[in-house]
Amino acid sequence: MQPQNMIWVVAGKRYRTATATLIAHDEYWNGYNCEQGGRNTFLFRTPKGNFFAQYQSLLLGEINKITPLDTSEAISLYQSLHKKEVPFRVVFPCVKVEDA
């Protein structure tokens, strides 16, 4: 399942998948299909640097939606998604990563 072209307005801000950069997602061939249990998640960054997740579902009764994310939520989602389209240091240049 590829990300759908969606426009979603939340708290007076318009989020568009068509103008945002796809950063990471969980759409990959698992040996059976690309829809992980009928659902996929796509992480985007807007041209203004805001993050949002697009959730898509093939399951009856569930709707596709967009949810805005703050940077810490975006980092957490990025790390949990299987396929990275853009390297971490490019997506989050202000985040300093140190050894533990």
The per-residue pLDDT string of the chain (100 residues; one tens digit each, 9 = 90 and over) reads 678 899 999 999 999 999 999 999 987 666 665 555 678 999 999 999 999 999 998 888 889 999 999 999 999 999 999 899 999 999 999 888 889 8
* 70 located within any domain: yes
**Residue at 26 is within a domain:** yes
Q: Which residues pair with 25 in a beta bridge?
A: 42, 83
Whether 29 is covered by a domain: the verdict is: yes
CB 81 within 8 A of CB 69: no
Dist CA 63 CA 89 (whole Å): 32
Question: Is 97 contained in some domain?
Answer: no
Please give the residue range of the domain that contains residue 28: 7-91
In a domain? residue 98? no
Residue 40 lies in a domain: yes
Residue 42 has what pLDDT? Answer: 96
Domain count, the chain: 1
Q: Is 1 contained in some domain? A: no
Tracing tokens 């998604």 back to the chain, one arrives at 81
| Residue 79: CB atoms within 10 Å | 10
In whole angstroms, what is the distance from residue 16 CA to residue 3 CA?
A: 11
